[in-house]
Structure 1
């Protein structure tokens, strides 16, 4: 029933009381501006998903993702490439939600087929998109990293944006975060799965590492061999936890002409400790590993939801220490720090996003900028009044694109 005087406060109040699920909805709505989701599809799907009911959430996104894959197949068979690409891209993002939602509810034997569906939809999108694509196998230690090199259909400018994903984001989400806007401005774009990310974690069992320069240097070596890449016009972009990996890279790898940390991160572990009881943080700080492991185990037993979140976040760190306890895991996460010595080694111009209401690393964008040498960092604030608050500005990606790419264009000496 129409209520003319109703308050429209969902932006402030949230779509769900659960912060994680609310953030997922905001991310999906933000993808709409780059074709990565459709507003009606998102709102209709969440209307069928009650608070809690995690399997219900996953199954809802699985259903809509599969429906869109079928739509894409039908459009492709009829020769409608643009429609097919749109269906496949949206399907990839929804299937990623379905995969994430199954974490802790089923084992990998049941989850991994959904991940495969997600990646198949992504690859189908690439095959139908209005751009050129080259699949990459980037040499890395004794293996390769999967990647993709996208260039505008009409030819690029030589400027190339290399992207680093966050701790658990999908490659289709990274399209909406940066690749779409970069291609529209004539940039080439490189996306890849690094250690601990997506296929490298779920299919190969490779975990994170704090010394990301050991990853980004061979990636950069390979990027410089790609056709159409101007090695003097390379830019680096990192989202979410890559706000740590970007500055860590720049302290050692100086071939990038400009870089973006969205947002800045100087201490990854801080996001783990924010809601941890004081007695546990004291045990951690004083090295009482046995007590910490015992007490945290009790707490996680009481809250299965928290246990699932812990397992999800800890998994990328446990690959290098398969028998590690909770204390060992947080000790490993404690290595992910941009101290003043590392920050002072950065010589690349660095734009750092700084949104109101940053949920995971509040204040750290400002701290990263302060630790850099004078003239290196540019801090760009995003506000709630402009609809751009929250981690990675989920509902304001168009405004984010405008501000970061105008800055990048100036640094790479390009004008429209």
Structure 2
């Protein structure tokens, strides 16, 4: 685990990665791509899903039972296997609920909620009625879990341009009368509920947490038909206004903003324009998301979609849907052009924590860190941490310890 702070100017190391024995090339390591599935996206999703186990959101046997059923990249098998598991868990939860077995019901509802979302994480038939049905089922199960378990969460609807953004406000049971707030922005594929591992880290340290589905994400995309936009400050600044008006327990001078994956690209833009952000956490850092994806796509710009490799064709379709443009490489490339923060990074003045990993699939965190002129720290998760993969997949407990010790210190909760 390596860190570098612009304030000290010295390299620091909690552990020495050079002394770690890395598995030989002929041996397959769990953190390598394609450990569970040859489809890199599915492999990462499975690792993320397993990583939610410590928070009661999944169970090992249930997840591995689905993994055993998968047939390569077959989409319908993925969707139907997770939906069948979610149905069984929801039926169990509802039966326990009817018989006043609230502990069992709350536990089963929580996992059912996760598995309904899992079915939608790899589902490209955007007009299929199951897209909305499973999203509603997931939200309903999660809300029932909150009600029965007493978990300190409240579902919220944040007004947004004639519609709303769904989210949750988590109250820390360890908070003072006025306490810091951490706002969490998910990535392109995960939902607000999937960031609970982050929220747990905040709540245990006396920090309130607000997580949400922005345009292009989760429920906001599938039910409210809201698509991504590059000027993300237009999303988060109204959200902060809403939170400060509704929740008087928030210390308005102590607001942190964290982004995961694509969210890690989006949040520096907010910090550049909204000076209420005291601390920005990018996981990982990235100067230009658009530039990286465009470089992949332009090599195939002259080929029809039908001739593209399956994974690339699915990527184009997914981007087109989430950005609200026609399903073509040309239109997706055009939509991604504005996703470049190069011109506004010098306007980020708040302290910024840049996360990275030796197993990251996006290699933009270090250049992003170097480009910042604000107080900053670079935190690299190496192999010895077991949290070296993209957004610490598979190492959420370790990640929480290192990340939140730093967040708590900077928000006065250390």
Same fold (TM over 0.5): yes
Distance in 2 (alpha carbons) for counterparts of 1:196 and 1:218: 17
Distance in 2 (alpha carbons) for counterparts of 1:316 and 1:309: 11
**Contact 2:185/2:192 (<8 A) preserved:** no
Aligned to 1:46: 67
Structure showing greater relative contact order (alpha-carbon pairs closer than 8 Å, 6 or more residues apart):
2
**Contact 2:103/2:149 (<8 A) preserved:** yes
- The question of 1:115 aligning with 2:128 is answered no
Q: 1:342 aligns with which of 344, 347, 351?
A: 344
402-411 vs 57-66, which moves further: 57-66
1:230-272 Cα offsets, whole Å, 9 max, x none, are 1122111111101111100000111122121111121112442
**Contact 2:28/2:35 (<8 A) preserved:** no
Divergent runs of 4+, >6 A:
none
Aligned to 2:366: 366
- The question of 1:93 aligning with 2:114 is answered yes
**Contact 1:263/1:392 (<8 A) preserved:** yes
* Shift in alpha-carbon separation, 1:84–1:349, aligned structure 2, 3 A: farther
* Shift in alpha-carbon separation, 1:30–1:250, aligned structure 2, 3 A: same
Q: 2:217 aligns with which of 189, 197, 201?
A: 197
Distance in 1 (alpha carbons) for counterparts of 2:75 and 2:331: 29
Distance in 1 (alpha carbons) for counterparts of 2:313 and 2:326: 17
Distance in 2 (alpha carbons) for counterparts of 1:29 and 1:202: 24
* Shift in alpha-carbon separation, 1:126–1:274, aligned structure 2, 3 A: farther
**Contact 2:316/2:328 (<8 A) preserved:** no
Distance in 1 (alpha carbons) for counterparts of 2:239 and 2:269: 15
The residue correspondences of 1:7-406 to structure 2 (distance < 5 A) are 9-12=29-32, 14-104=35-125, 107-153=127-173, 158-176=179-197, 178-225=198-245, 226-273=247-294, 275-276=296-297, 278=299, 280=300, 292=301, 295-296=302-303, 298-318=304-324, 322=325, 325-339=328-342, 341-359=343-361, 361-362=362-363, 364-374=364-374, 376-406=375-405
* C-alpha displacement of 1:33: 2.1
Distance in 2 (alpha carbons) for counterparts of 1:65 and 1:380: 37
Distance in 2 (alpha carbons) for counterparts of 1:344 and 1:304: 39
TM-score, normalised via structure 1 length: 0.86
Distance in 2 (alpha carbons) for counterparts of 1:66 and 1:383: 38
SS in 1 for 2:114: helix
- Note the residue ranges of structure 2 that are not aligned, 5 or more in a row: 1-25
- What is the alpha-carbon root mean square deviation over aligned residues? 2.3
SS in 2 for 1:231: strand
Distance in 1 (alpha carbons) for counterparts of 2:308 and 2:167: 41
SS in 2 for 1:266: coil
Distance in 2 (alpha carbons) for counterparts of 1:122 and 1:61: 16
**Contact 1:266/1:338 (<8 A) preserved:** yes
SS in 2 for 1:353: strand
Distance in 2 (alpha carbons) for counterparts of 1:185 and 1:83: 28
**Contact 2:188/2:263 (<8 A) preserved:** yes
* C-alpha displacement of 1:155: 5.4
- Note the residue ranges of structure 1 that are not aligned, 5 or more in a row: 1-5, 281-291
Distance in 1 (alpha carbons) for counterparts of 2:227 and 2:320: 10
* Shift in alpha-carbon separation, 1:102–1:207, aligned structure 2, 3 A: closer
Aligned to 2:19: none
Distance in 2 (alpha carbons) for counterparts of 1:137 and 1:9: 42
1:201-224 Cα offsets, whole Å, 9 max, x none, are 222222111111111111111111
Aligned to 1:288: none
